[in-house]
């Protein structure tokens, strides 16, 4: 009897959880035609239609929903088998795929990799940088074992552990009036031209929330693609912004043209956490990686 491959089942699970051929393909690190072909092959093999292709996405048929539940269980068992054999009871051995959002990755991963390599020499760490939504998709489709994200991020089937609070700092051109104001508060930014990261970066939403502004309040505003670009825009006199203290303390090049100041009352802009798929056989490993990262960032192992 011919049976489906695990890859075909992975495609089906990705499609069912994302509701989109394009997002499912991204989560599985394949092209959309490759994923579509895999779904069609699975349909031909099973002799039943599994997915309805729609103008703005895709939905599973009743048969597809039944197949999805069984496919998820089979993939869980397959991953548990691989992990059990590779680890043989040892913590953090074998391949481990760790994702991180762009506003965390450059400032956390270098020292994390070094610490993990020293403590767990049998670990093969693979790093992936992407925005939160796509990292979550990759957790669900088991292409990632864990991901460093900004919390809160409540989504079904995903669990997380908080590692640290990340303070927001005020950043402005060095000659800006607020650069020397006493008693600086977030309210001082309400009438300023607040520079932000582009849509899709959770740091953008956190900054807007702190300053009590609505997304899209300034339709003509140019958004930055990265924190480095954001700093350059500030240095060029285009406006002011908020920068995560984590980035400022761990390698973000601010330069002398930009003034960075704390608020009179510390502003906790976001929480840094590690997330994994609920029921993952690598939950214990994800928690241990989180503990190593926390120790590196805060100097505390508790």
pLDDT, tens digit, 9 for 90 and up, residues 55-97: 778 999 999 999 999 999 899 888 877 766 665 557 788 899 9
Q: Which range of residues forms the domain containing residue 248?
A: 94-302
Q: Among 254, 270, 249, 282, which residue's Cα sits nearest to residue 147?
A: 282
Whether residue 1 lies inside any domain: the answer is no
Residue 204 pLDDT more than 80?
A: no
What rounded mean pLDDT belongs to the chain? 87
> Does pTM top 0.85 for this prediction?
no
Residue 146 pLDDT more than 70?
A: yes
Question: Is residue 281 domain-shared with residue 238, that is, in the same domain?
Answer: yes
What is residue 6's predicted lDDT score, i.e. its pLDDT? 92
Residue 255 Ramachandran class (φ > 0 left, ψ -120 to 50 alpha, else beta): left
Which residue bears the tokens 């992936």? 128
CATH number of the domain to which 189 belongs: 3.40.190.290
What is residue 40's predicted lDDT score, i.e. its pLDDT? 94
Question: Is residue 171 domain-shared with residue 253, that is, in the same domain?
Answer: yes
> How many beta carbons lie within 10 A of that of residue 2, not counting itself?
6
What is the C-alpha to C-alpha distance for residues 154 and 11, in angstroms, rounded to an integer? 24
Model confidence band, residue 144 (pLDDT cutoffs 50, 70, 90): very high
What is residue 217's predicted lDDT score, i.e. its pLDDT? 46
What is residue 215's predicted lDDT score, i.e. its pLDDT? 42
| Secondary structure (3-state) at 299 | coil
What is residue 153's predicted lDDT score, i.e. its pLDDT? 78
Question: Is residue 76 domain-shared with residue 101, that is, in the same domain?
Answer: no
Residue 259 pLDDT more than 60?
A: yes
Token pair belonging to 294: 């926390």
What is residue 136's predicted lDDT score, i.e. its pLDDT? 93
Question: Is residue 17 domain-shared with residue 147, that is, in the same domain?
Answer: no
- Mean pLDDT, residues 98-107: 92
CATH number of the domain to which 52 belongs: 1.10.10.10
Model confidence band, residue 300 (pLDDT cutoffs 50, 70, 90): low
- Mean pLDDT, residues 245-273: 90
Q: What's the total number of domains in the chain?
A: 2
């Amino acid at each position: 009897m011919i049976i489906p491959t695990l890859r075909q089942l992975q495609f089906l699970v990705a499609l069912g959880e994302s509701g989109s051929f394009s997002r499912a393909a991204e989560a599985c690190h394949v092209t959309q035609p490759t994923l579509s072909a895999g779904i069609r092959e699975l349909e031909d093999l099973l002799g039943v239609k599994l997915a309805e292709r729609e103008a703005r996405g895709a939905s599973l048929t009743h048969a597809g929903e039944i197949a999805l539940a069984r496919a998820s269980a089979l993939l869980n068992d397959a991953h548990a088998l691989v992990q059990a054999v590779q680890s043989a009871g040892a913590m953090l051995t074998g391949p481990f795929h760790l994702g991180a959002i762009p506003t965390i990755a450059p400032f956390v991963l270098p020292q994390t990799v070094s610490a993990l390599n020293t403590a767990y020499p049998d670990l093969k760490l693979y790093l992936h940088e992407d925005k939160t939504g796509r990292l979550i998709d990759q957790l669900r489709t088991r292409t990632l074992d864990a991901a460093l994200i900004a919390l809160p991020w409540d989504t079904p089937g995903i669990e997380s552990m908080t590692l640290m609070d990340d303070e927001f700092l005020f950043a402005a051109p060095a000659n800006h009036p607020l650069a020397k104001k006493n008693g600086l508060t977030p309210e001082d930014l309400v009438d300023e031209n607040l520079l932000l990261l582009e849509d899709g970066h959770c740091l953008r939403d956190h900054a807007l929330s702190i300053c009590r502004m609505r997304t899209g309040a300034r339709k003509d505003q140019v958004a930055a693609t990265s924190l480095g670009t954001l700093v350059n825009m500030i240095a060029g006199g285009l406006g002011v912004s908020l920068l995560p203290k984590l980035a400022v303390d761990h390698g973000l090049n601010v330069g002398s043209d930009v003034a960075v100041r704390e608020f009179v009352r510390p502003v906790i802009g976001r929480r840094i956490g590690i997330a994994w798929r609920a029921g993952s056989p690598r939950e214990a490993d994800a928690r241990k990686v989180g503990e190593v990262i926390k120790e590196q960032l805060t100097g505390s192992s508790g």
